Amino acid sequence: MNGKAPATMRPGEIRLAEGRLETGWWGPGPAAAPTIVLLHEGLGSLGLWRDFPPALSAATGWGVFAWSRFGYGGSDPVALPRPLDYLRREATEVLPRVLDAAGLRRGILFGHSDGASIAAIHAGACPDPRLQGLVLLAPHVFAEPIGLAGVAATRARYATGDLRARLARHHRHVDVAFEGWAGAWLDPRFPAAFDLLPELRRIRLPVLAIQGEADAYGTAEQLHAIAREAPGPVERRLLPGIGHAPHAEASATVLAAVRDFLARLPGGGSDAGAAAV
Note down the domain range covering 139.
Answer: 10-272
pLDDT, position 210? 98
Burial class (CB in 10 A: 0-12, 13-18, 19+), 258: buried
pLDDT class of 115 with cuts at 50, 70, 90: very high
CATH of the domain at 165: 3.40.50.1820
pLDDT, position 242? 98
Least confident of 88-97, 114-123, 224-233, 262-271: 262-271
pLDDT, position 274? 37
What's the pLDDT tens digit per position in 191-226? 999 999 999 999 999 999 999 999 999 999 999 999
Q: Look at residue 277 and tell me if it is in a domain.
A: no
Q: Look at residue 1 and tell me if it is in a domain.
A: no
Q: Look at residue 265 and tell me if it is in a domain.
A: yes
With pLDDT > 70 as the criterion, what percentage of the chain qualifies? 95
DSSP assignment string, 209-229: EEEETT-TT--THHHHHHHHH
pLDDT class of 6 with cuts at 50, 70, 90: confident
Q: Look at residue 5 and tell me if it is in a domain.
A: no
The total number of structural domains in the chain stands at 1
Q: Look at residue 174 and tell me if it is in a domain.
A: yes
Question: Is pLDDT of 3 > 90?
Answer: no
pTM, to two decimals? 0.94
Q: How far is CA 249 from CA 119, 238, 246, in A?
A: 22, 13, 5
Q: Look at residue 2 and tell me if it is in a domain.
A: no
Q: Look at residue 232 and tell me if it is in a domain.
A: yes
Question: Is pLDDT of 272 > 50?
Answer: no
Distance from C-alpha of 85 to C-alpha of 33, rounded to nearest angstrom: 34
pLDDT class of 277 with cuts at 50, 70, 90: very low
Question: Is pLDDT of 118 > 80?
Answer: yes
Q: Look at residue 147 and tell me if it is in a domain.
A: yes
What's the pLDDT tens digit per position in 17-75? 999 999 999 999 999 999 999 999 999 999 999 999 999 999 999 999 999 999 999 99
